[in-house]
Amino acid sequence: MMHVLTDWIEKFWEEWELRAMVLLSLILQVILILLGKRRKYVSGNWLQIILWLCYMSADSLATFALSVLSWTQGQHGANESIAKAIWAPFLLLHLGSPDTITAYSLEDNELWLRHLLGLVFQVSVAFYVFLKSWVGSRFSILTLLMFVPGIIKYGEKNWALRRASNSMLSPRDDKGPNNRTHFMGGKKNVSKKLQDIPEAKRRTNINDFRLQIPVDQVDLSDAEILHKAYHFFVIFKDLFTGHILSIQEWEQSKSFFLQTSWRSSFKMIEVELGFMFDVLYTKATLAYTYVGFFLRLVCLAFTINSFLLFLTLEKDQYPDMDIITTYVLFVGAITLEIYSAINILIFSDWAFLWLSQKKIKMIPTIVSGAMERRLTCRKRWPASVGQCSIITCCLKDISSTVIVGVVQKLFCIDKVLEKHRWYMISNALQQDELRKLIFQQLKAKAENMTLEEKDTYPFPCTGDGVLRNNNYIWHLIQNTLGEENFGKSILIWHIATDICYESRFHISSATESKRELSKLLSDYMMYLLLMCPFMLPEGNGMIRFRDTFAEVKEVFEKTKSSKLDKSEACKKLLESTKVNFGSNTSESVLFEGCRLAERLKRSKEEANLDVWAETLPNVWMKMVCHAADKCTGTIHAQQLKRGGELLTHIWLLMAHLGLTRRVRFTTEGQQHKPNCLKG
Q: pLDDT tens across 73-92, in order?
A: 766 667 777 888 899 999 99
Strand partners, 427: 385
pLDDT, tens digit (0-9, with 9 covering 90-100), for 18-64: 899 999 999 999 999 999 888 888 877 788 889 999 999 999 999 99
**Vertex 105: Cα angle to 99 and 109 (nearest 5):** 70
Answer yes or no: do 415 and 499 share one domain.
yes
Answer yes or no: do 194 and 111 share one domain.
no
Q: Work out whether strand 187-188 and strand 670-672 pair parallel, antiparallel, or are unpaired.
A: unpaired
How many domains is the chain partitioned into structurally? 3
Residue 359 domain-assigned (yes or no): yes
Residues shown for the chain:
679
Answer yes or no: do 390 and 509 share one domain.
yes
- pTM over 0.85, yes/no: no
Residue 189 domain-assigned (yes or no): yes
Could you say which of 377, 398, 423 is where a domain stops? 377
Cα–Cα distance, 478 to 619 (Å, whole number)? 10
- Asked if 659 and 622 count as a contact pair (C-beta separation under 8 A), the reply is no
Answer yes or no: do 337 and 205 share one domain.
no
pLDDT at 474 exceeding the cut of 90: no
- Asked if 558 and 551 count as a contact pair (C-beta separation under 8 A), the reply is no
Residue 426 domain-assigned (yes or no): yes
Mean pLDDT of 487-501: 91
Strand, coil or helix: what is 274? Answer: helix
Strand, coil or helix: what is 573? Answer: helix
pLDDT at residue number 174:
43
The DSSP secondary-structure symbol of 73 reads: T
Cα–Cα distance, 679 to 664 (Å, whole number)? 8
pLDDT at residue number 186:
38
Cα–Cα distance, 446 to 659 (Å, whole number)? 7
pLDDT at 494 exceeding the cut of 50: yes
Answer yes or no: do 190 and 303 share one domain.
no
Answer yes or no: do 228 and 321 share one domain.
no
**Taking every pair of C-alpha atoms in the chain, what is the biggest distance, in angstroms?**
95
pLDDT at residue number 330:
96
Cα–Cα distance, 323 to 331 (Å, whole number)? 12
The DSSP secondary-structure symbol of 203 reads: B
pLDDT, tens digit (0-9, with 9 covering 90-100), for 514-535: 888 899 999 999 999 988 899 9
pLDDT at residue number 290:
86
Residue 646 domain-assigned (yes or no): yes
Answer yes or no: do 505 and 540 share one domain.
yes
Q: In what order do the strands lie in the sheet with 665-667?
A: 245-246, 665-667, 670-672
Cα–Cα distance, 634 to 243 (Å, whole number)? 12
pLDDT, tens digit (0-9, with 9 covering 90-100), for 294-348: 999 999 999 999 999 999 888 888 888 889 999 999 999 999 999 988 877 777 8
Nearest 10 degrees: CA dihedral of 205, 206, 207, 209? Answer: 70
Cα–Cα distance, 218 to 210 (Å, whole number)? 16
Nearest to 515 by CA among 497, 528, 527: 497
Answer yes or no: do 476 and 565 share one domain.
yes
Question: How many other C-beta atoms are found inside a 10 Å radius of the C-beta of residue 103?
Answer: 23
What SS3 string covers 402-463?
HHHHHHHHHCCCCCCCHHHHCCCEEECCCHHHHHHHHHHHHHHHHHHCCHHHCCCCCCCCCC
Question: How many other C-beta atoms are found inside a 10 Å radius of the C-beta of residue 59?
Answer: 18
Nearest 10 degrees: CA dihedral of 87, 88, 94, 99? Answer: -110
Cα–Cα distance, 57 to 52 (Å, whole number)? 8
Answer yes or no: do 301 and 447 share one domain.
no
Mean pLDDT of 411-433: 61
Residue 677 domain-assigned (yes or no): no
Answer yes or no: do 633 and 656 share one domain.
yes
Cα–Cα distance, 51 to 31 (Å, whole number)? 8
Nearest to 239 by CA among 293, 302, 284, 172: 172
Which residues does 104 contact at the CB level (< 8 Å), separation at least 6?
51, 52, 55, 56, 281, 641
pLDDT, tens digit (0-9, with 9 covering 90-100), for 345-366: 777 888 888 777 665 444 555 4
pLDDT at 449 exceeding the cut of 80: no
pLDDT at residue number 648:
93
Residue 267 domain-assigned (yes or no): no
Residue 678 domain-assigned (yes or no): no
Answer yes or no: do 162 and 309 share one domain.
yes
On the 0-12 / 13-18 / 19+ scale of CB atoms within 10 A, 32 is: buried
Cα–Cα distance, 657 to 654 (Å, whole number)? 5
Could you say which of 356, 377, 398 is where a domain stops? 377
Per-range mean pLDDT, top range of 142-146, 199-203, 420-424:
142-146
Q: Which domain holds residue 221?
A: 180-262+272-280
User: Reduced to 3 DSSP states, what percent helix, strand and coil does the chain have, rounded to the nearest 5?
Assistant: 70, 5, 30
Average pLDDT over the chain, rounded to an integer: 77
On the 0-12 / 13-18 / 19+ scale of CB atoms within 10 A, 309 is: middle
Cα–Cα distance, 235 to 177 (Å, whole number)? 7
Amino acid at 385: V
Answer yes or no: do 485 and 571 share one domain.
yes
% residues pLDDT > 70 (the chain)? 71
Residue 298 domain-assigned (yes or no): yes
- Asked if 527 and 388 count as a contact pair (C-beta separation under 8 A), the reply is yes
The DSSP secondary-structure symbol of 219 reads: P
